[in-house]
Amino acid sequence: MQLNSSFKQSESFSLTKEPNPEEPEVDKEAEVTITKPSLPASIGEGVGIYTGQRNNSLAFQKSEELQKTLLLHRHERQLIILQDFPDPDALSCAWTYQLIAQQYDIKCEIIYAGTLSHQENIALVKLTGLPAQRWTPQTLKGKDLSCYQGLVFIDNQGTTSQLLSAVQQAGIPIVAVIDHHSLQTDIKADFVDIRPYVRATATIFTQYLQTGLLSLDSSIGQHVKCATALMHGLRSDTNRLMQAQEEDFMAAAYLSRFYDAQLLNAILQANRSKRVMDVIERSLKNRIVQNNFSIAGVGYLRYDDRDAIPQAADFLVTEENVHTAVVYGIVHDEDDELEVVIGSLRTTKLTLDPDEFIKEAFGQDSTGRFFGGGRTGAGGFEIPMGFLSGSNENSAYARMKWEVFDAQIKQKLLRLVNPKDNPIQSE
Ligand SMILES: [Mn+2]
């Protein structure tokens, strides 16, 4: 596993203003083989005490490492793999990587296996011309994967993509993993930049831009659109900057020089579909509130409406006396008869770690893989239904199946919400 000292360093990251004697000094003078990224004076000077030293040195070090990696992989074709249901943070960062890599004659295709289901994501892709493509596992079968020399995982570590096993079987090596979720799996890659304390991968990518990996130019339409996409990613992963920390604000400040506020507004104005509104209504109707947790099962929903689940959780967590909301449902893909239980957690409770909570609640599958995880304030889980998938033409059977999953998920959650209760007897 190639996790270097800077990753370990990041784990113990804190907002302390004291200089950390253990922090290794990055010897920039030693890097003679590559062009040193040039840091604009405005982020190096006069900007707060701790960011001045610590974060900049990590950002520099990682930018230099990434630059070296890209130099080693010049003229390649790479696949950037996003989670099955990519969000604005993932989409914008993948685009940024593509633009950075272009300078090294690396051609990247941005792919995801699921669907763009949130209305804002569809608007983002359409309005900015963001070059992401949907490749289902079927699409992959028809592709000649031998023309790709590298895989890149952005805003994920491969564990949330259906495409992972197929691309790994094709023997394509992992070139880079850039993410802000907690470490999900053992990673072997040329370049790893995982910073769980950063609120958005867009912050990491903006730092790459700031250290000179790509100089944004307001007169280039694509740069303006990409900066707008990054601003959207950053905002949406930080609950409109409300959970942003200094680094995220610094990144937003930098992007503010380039982004198109009107375009961002147009993306944010995208309306919810009626079906999404219906799922939110079901979540309101079905919710149970215990110990400041709001828990709602919403039954079956179509694959394309999957994003209604996090949106319902976003809404439920706004209720008075609720700090954490969990919403889940059975998502079905009509073509494949594939069913999976999908859930989202949202919390405003600072001491609740969504990653820990979800791993503790649902545990692991038979291969040792967790059913979900999370980042600050948010988490998600996916439980494949395997043999029980399909046959929902029989509505009594479909209802029974839902009731069993609903009861099982509630039991697992309530065990953590009310540690002393036995939820079966209490209901
Ligand atoms: Mn993210």
3-state SS record for the chain = CCCCHHHHHHHCCCCCCCCCCCCCCCCHHHCCCCCCCCCCHHHHCCCCCHHHHHHHHHHHHHHHHHHHHHHHCCCCEEEEECCCCCCHHHHHHHHHHHHHHHCCCCEEEEEECCCCCCHHHHHHHHHHCCCEEECCHHHHHCCCHHHCCEEEEECCCCCCCCCHHHHHHCCCCEEEEEECCCCCCCCCCCEEEECCCCCCHHHHHHHHHHCCCCCCCCCCHHHHHHHHHHHHHHHHHCCCCCCCCHHHHHHHHHHCCCCCHHHHHHHHCCCCCHHHHHHHHHHHHHCEEECCEEEEEEEEEEHHHCCHHHHHHHHHCCCCCCCEEEEEEEEEECCCCEEEEEEEEEECCCCCCHHHHHHHHHCECCCCCECEEEECCEEEEEEECHHHCCCCCCHHHHHHHHHHHHHHHHHHHHHHHCCCCCHHHHC
Q: Considering only 47-51, 348-352, 422-426, which range has the smallest mean pLDDT?
A: 47-51
CA 308 / ligand 1 centre spacing (Å): 18
Average pLDDT, the chain: 86
More confident site: 150 or 272: 150
CA 31 / ligand 1 centre spacing (Å): 31
More confident site: 338 or 31: 338
- For residues 247 and 203, what is the distance between their CA atoms, to the nearest angstrom? 7
| Alpha-carbon separation of residue 162 from 194, 207, 319 (angstroms) | 21, 30, 35
CA 55 / ligand 1 centre spacing (Å): 19
- For residues 286 and 118, what is the distance between their CA atoms, to the nearest angstrom? 22
Based on its alpha-carbon atoms, the radius of gyration of the chain, rounded to whole angstroms, reads: 22
Q: pLDDT band at residue 367, thresholds of 50, 70 and 90?
A: confident
CA 245 / ligand 1 centre spacing (Å): 14
Q: Residue 375: its pLDDT value, please?
A: 78
CA 369 / ligand 1 centre spacing (Å): 20
pLDDT average, residue stretch 317-322:
96
Q: Residue 128: its pLDDT value, please?
A: 96
CA 197 / ligand 1 centre spacing (Å): 12
pLDDT average, residue stretch 404-409:
96
Q: pLDDT band at residue 259, thresholds of 50, 70 and 90?
A: very high
- For residues 89 and 67, what is the distance between their CA atoms, to the nearest angstrom? 21
CA 36 / ligand 1 centre spacing (Å): 28
CA 156 / ligand 1 centre spacing (Å): 8
Q: Considering only 22-26, 44-48, 297-301, which range has the smallest mean pLDDT?
A: 44-48
CA 247 / ligand 1 centre spacing (Å): 15
CA 276 / ligand 1 centre spacing (Å): 22
CA 90 / ligand 1 centre spacing (Å): 6
Ranked by mean pLDDT, the top range of 40-49, 287-296, 362-371 is 287-296
CA 323 / ligand 1 centre spacing (Å): 21
CA 396 / ligand 1 centre spacing (Å): 39
CA 219 / ligand 1 centre spacing (Å): 28
Nearest to 79 by CA among 119, 112, 51, 42: 112
Tell me what percent of the residues of the chain surpass a pLDDT of 90.
65
CA 178 / ligand 1 centre spacing (Å): 10
Nearest to 65 by CA among 96, 22, 36: 36
**Strand partners for 372:** 381
CA 155 / ligand 1 centre spacing (Å): 5
CA 200 / ligand 1 centre spacing (Å): 5
Task: Scan for tokens 């993509």, then name that residue.
Answer: 161
Q: pLDDT band at residue 252, thresholds of 50, 70 and 90?
A: very high
CA 206 / ligand 1 centre spacing (Å): 13
CA 45 / ligand 1 centre spacing (Å): 28
Contact 319, 288 (CB under 8 A): no
Q: Indicate whether 44 pLDDT > 60.
A: no
Q: Indicate whether 1 pLDDT > 50.
A: no
- Which tokens go with 372? 């979900």
CA 423 / ligand 1 centre spacing (Å): 34
Q: Indicate whether 11 pLDDT > 50.
A: no
CA 27 / ligand 1 centre spacing (Å): 30
CA 180 / ligand 1 centre spacing (Å): 6
CA 51 / ligand 1 centre spacing (Å): 21
Q: Which long-range contacts (C-beta less than 8 Å, at least 24 apart) are formed by 353-360?
A: 354/378, 354/379, 355/181, 355/182, 355/379, 357/416, 360/416
Contact 204, 195 (CB under 8 A): yes
Nearest to 267 by CA among 110, 56, 88: 88
